[in-house]
Structure 1
Amino acid sequence: MKTNVFFKAVVMVAVVMASVMSANAGNPTNYVKNDEMNG
């Protein structure tokens, strides 16, 4: 149970980081590539 919650937290952080990086870069192409890599 704890492991699942921890994993979800890590995924959320990764998604937020990707979103912030994409917003700073302002490049939709990079955002699509990151989304594909993250699945």
Structure 2
Amino acid sequence: MANEAAIVNVVARTSLWLQPHRIVLILIALGLVLSAAFFMR
């Protein structure tokens, strides 16, 4: 039970941390896609 509670706590904290950083993650994903498209030409 304690292990599940710890996992839930980590997930909640991670989601809280990701709220303002979602834009950064989207930008990184876009950069990866654009670089992949650039190198595939």
Instruction: Give the structure-2-normalised TM-score.
Output: 0.52
Greater RCO, CA 8 A, separation 6+:
1
Count of paired positions? 25
Point out 4+ residue stretches in structure 1 off by more than 6 angstroms: none
Q: Greater helix share, 1 or 2?
A: 2
What CA RMSD, in Å, does the superposition of the two structures yield over aligned residues?
1.4
Structure 1 gaps, min length 5:
26-39
Whichever of the two has the greater Rg, that structure is 2
Query: Among the aligned pairs, what percent are the same residue?
Result: 4
